[in-house]
Each structure stands twice: as structure tokens, then as C-alpha cells.
Amino acid sequence: MHRKLVVANWKMHGSLAANQQLLEGYIQRLKPLENVDVVVCVPYPYLGQAQSLLQGTSIAWGAQNLSKDLAGAYTGEVSVAMLQDFGATHVIVGHSERATAYCESDENIATKFMQAKSHALTPILCVGETLIEREAGVMEMVVAKQIDTIISMYGASMFAGAVVAYEPIWAIGTGLAATPEQAQAMHEFIRGRIAAHDKDAANSLKILYGGSVNSQNAVQLFVMQDINGGLIGRGSLNAEEFEGICRAAN
């Protein structure tokens, strides 16, 4: 059985003062929870702050995006080596809020995933369908295409030790989480899709559920067989609420 993983995605929230308070809350509240891994993905400018406050604790930190290129004339981009300079261990790749607003293609996302993986940073690949796609019954086809792009460009072994977050777009920030059964069905589908190419990679992969997880619905989701934890947006911005979610995973 996989050890559960809970990842906070702060999105574009925070300030030096607010982050300090929130991280101190995390450190104090999550200390007794020894059976769950926790990562907090902060906005780029706060990676140094996360490093200085979280170093020596059991909480790891990461970023919400990275460049597909390693270095060069790419104004505004941040490379994998820069994230590592600040001790980041994880990076979110292909979050739907970025894919939609910044027109990220599946191919670009696949390259970012490969860059993270090749540099020993754990990529957290976000996949998921829109409400229209779910209502049309094509959600598996949509998610399969996101997964298959990585498999065809870089091979299924890329998924070994990586993280996939199933985030139905209709559930993100809406207060309307997927049911445990809906999430489990898609998680099983994702694992099976990768297992068809590489069983070991599929077994070592953690698949998180993301989309309106809170301290009330977390347990029902986390008990499902293929749900290995959660990617948490709004629920991570309050230390008490986040503790409740981590406690459910613990």
C-alpha cells in the first residue's frame, strides 16, 4: 500500500507575513502526523522562505510550474535547476488553470514532466476533464490523451516514482468534489493505462485526487484503493483546515 501524500497548492496567494504564519501553523499542527507525506507548492518568490522555514521539518516544498527549457533567453521562465537551488523536491506540471490561461499544450506539459523527472525532481502531473467532456462521456479519452502524450514522447518508465493528480476541472475551486466512486474509477483507469506499458512504473506511481477536497470529505476519498492522497487548493490556505485533510490521510 502507498503511503499517502498530501500536496498544498497555494496558487497565487500569500505574502511574506501571511506565509510565515501559515507555515508555522503547518509545522506545529502536522508534527504529530507521522504516516503522511506533505508537500507545499508555493509561488516562485517564496521558495527561499519555504526553504528557510521548512528545512529540518518533515514538510517538503516545491513549485507550481517550471520551464520546459534548461536555460537561456526565456524571459520570465524558471528552470528546474533554479528550483533545485532552493531545495524544491516537487513541481506541479500542467495544472488546468495554467493549461487554459497560458495555452500549454500536452506536448509542452510532457516536456516539463520529463525535465523534472530527469533532474530528480518529482513531477505532479495534473490531468482531468471539463464538465462538458464528462457529460459527453469522453472523460477517459481526454485523460488518456494527456497520459499517452508522455508515454509516446518519453516512455511509460517516466512515470516511475512520479505523481499524477486527477483534477476534474469542474471540481476545482467549485465546492463540488467528485464522488469517491467517480475519482476511484478514473484513478484505476489511469493506473491501468500506464500498467499496460510498464507495470512497475504504474505500481510505483502515486495518484492524487484534487478538486474541492476539504476536512469533511477527505476521509471518504482517501479510503478508496487507488486514491493515494490529495492535491489541495483552497483547503491548504488555512492551517486548521489543512491539518484536518492531512489527518484524514494519516
Binders of ligand PEP among 146-165, rule CB under 6 A?
A: none
Q: Which three cell numbers stand for residue 22?
A: 501559515
User: Quick one: which segment of 102-110, 194-202, 207-215, 241-249 binds ligand PEP (CB under 6 A)?
Assistant: 207-215
Identify the three-state secondary structure at position 190. Answer: helix
Residue 56, Cβ density class (10 Å: 0-12 exposed, 13-18 middle, ≥19 buried): exposed
Q: Nearer to ligand PEP by C-beta: 111 or 212?
A: 212
Distance CA 235, CA 233 (A): 6
User: Quick one: which segment of 83-91, 101-109, 191-199, 231-239 binds ligand PEP (CB under 6 A)?
Assistant: 231-239
- Which of the following is catalytic: 90, 167, 187, 243? 167
Q: If binding means CB under 6 A, how many residues of this protein chain bind ligand PEP?
A: 13
210 lies in the site for ligand PEP, by CB under 6 A? yes
Residue 88 · residue 49 · CB < 8 Å: no
- Check if 167 is active-site: yes
- Which of the following is catalytic: 90, 95, 104, 187? 95
Q: Nearer to ligand PEP by C-beta: 124 or 151?
A: 124
Instruction: Spell out the residues 6+ positions from residue 83 whose beta carbon is closer than 8 angstroms to its own.
Output: 47, 62, 63, 66, 91, 121
What torsion do the CA atoms of 209, 14, 247, 170 make, to the nearest 10 degrees? -20
231 lies in the site for ligand PEP, by CB under 6 A? yes
For residue 233, the minimal CB distance to ligand PEP (Å) is: 2
Amino acid residing at 14: G
Q: Give the interface with ligand PEP as residue ranges (CB under 6 A).
A: 9, 167, 172-173, 210-213, 231-235
Q: Which residues are catalytic?
A: 95, 167
